[in-house]
Amino acid sequence: MVTPIVHEVAAGLHSTPQTAAAAVTAYMLPFAALMLVSGTLAERWGRRRVLRVAVAAFVVATALCALAPTMEFFLTARAFQGATNAFTTPLLVAAISDLVDGVRLAKALSWFAAAQAAGQGMSPLFSGAGAALDWRLAFLVPGLCGLLLVCFPPSRSATRRTTTDRASWHSLANRQLALACSISFLAYLAAVGLTVLAVLRLHDRFGLGPVGIGLASSAFGIAGVAAAPLVGRFLSTRGPQRTGILSDTAMALGLLCAALGTALPLVIAGIVLVGAAVTGLRSTINALAVTSTSGNRGGAASLAMSAQFFGGAAAATVWLPAYHAFGDRGFALIAVVPLLSAAALKMTGTRPDRPTPTPAHTEATRP
């Protein structure tokens, strides 16, 4: 919600766009750090209770962002937002893996990734439109969405664990989850690098304002949603390794188009390719994570997502200096990251063919 409006936030709080862009890192660092433990803790405390408290806290944090009088206050409120959100998404992935089994799990995870992409795509559209009037209005829609979730929480049946065993930290020490975490880190190091630098390039090279940038950025999420059915079929038949390699290849090509395209349609085409690729990588990561252990799916999902957002938190710090120093060529350097991810998937000793039923699922479906 912040990347399309960094110039407006900077002007409104009497700061610089570079400082305002730090709002991405301010959000993602506590988000990623708390996800190292949030999934396991929530499995122990109760998914539904934790989700309700976390969403309510998110609404408060969003209001504080909108009311921020200074840049320091704004960045602190963004950190609070990240901390609250660490207790939501991993639990949803864990709940899906308990509700759906076998081949259907791949399709369910791809649709969940599409839902994330839809939110990510709609957010810059709404925030850009709001910022055209006042940057503080960019936080109105997320705040209202949070209020709706507070009023209509998930049911107990949707968030109930299929095992009564106490969530174990030890179960998270496995090679498949380590692979998921490494791919997760690289995926968001590249994807968030795109969202940050594409905003700057669209403003600097093509002269787009917040509404235009919001519309261009929304192509990322729209592509992610559109890719979900294909990703689900491919993941269920070819498995996470091949899905991840194909997604990494598409991301590298999209990054080059976004970084080096001399015409606006080519840049947007690059954003579309990366958006579709991220849905594939999210599905790959989640499939690897939740099938790596049956006793602590929330913990596995939160660890993989923690790595994802540590990558996102590092993106602005790593890629902004490269962009300012080398321009479009610095932007294009990001394409190296998905190539490294594809190599890790290709070379790893863990070669899962597809998301398979965990022991809990096997018991549930045994005649």
Give the model confidence (pLDDT) of 45-89 as tens digits.
Answer: 888 888 899 999 999 999 999 999 999 999 999 999 999 988 888
Residue 148: Cβ-neighbour burial (10 angstroms; 0-12, 13-18, 19+) = exposed
Q: What is 172-347's CATH number?
A: 1.20.1250.20
Which DSSP state fits 115? H
Of 329, 184, 181, which is closest to residue 255 (Cα–Cα)?
329
pLDDT under 50: residue ranges of the chain: 349-367
Q: In this structure, are residues 198 and 267 in contact, taking their beta carbons and an 8 Å threshold?
A: yes
Of 268, 218, 308, 247, which is closest to residue 110 (Cα–Cα)?
247
Of 58, 78, 59, 56, which is closest to residue 68 (Cα–Cα)?
78
CA dihedral for 79, 287, 283, 91, sign (positive or negative):
negative
CA distance 40 to 297: 8
User: Global pTM?
Assistant: 0.74
CA distance 322 to 309: 20
**Beta carbons within 8 Å of 239's beta carbon, 6+ residues apart:** 352, 353, 354, 355
Of 362, 358, 355, which is closest to residue 180 (Cα–Cα)?
355
* Neighbouring C-alpha atoms within 13 Å toward the C-beta of 315: 33
Domain 1-151 has CATH 1.20.1250.20: yes
CA distance 277 to 191: 9
CA distance 149 to 5: 25
CATH 1.20.1250.20 residue window(s) in the chain: 1-151, 172-347
Of 277, 273, 91, which is closest to residue 186 (Cα–Cα)?
277
pLDDT of residue 356: 43
pLDDT of residue 295: 74
Which ranges of 46-102 would DSSP assign to H, the alpha helix? 47-66, 71-85, 89-99
Q: In this structure, are residues 284 and 244 in contact, taking their beta carbons and an 8 Å threshold?
A: yes
pLDDT of residue 3: 75
What is the torsion angle, in degrees rounded to the nearest 10, for the CA atoms of residue 58, residue 25, residue 218 and residue 4?
A: 100
CA distance 24 to 27: 5
Q: In this structure, are residues 323 and 331 in contact, taking their beta carbons and an 8 Å threshold?
A: yes
331-345 in b/e form (b: 16+ CB < 10 A) is bbbbbebbebbbebb
> What six digits make up the tokens of 29?
């660092």
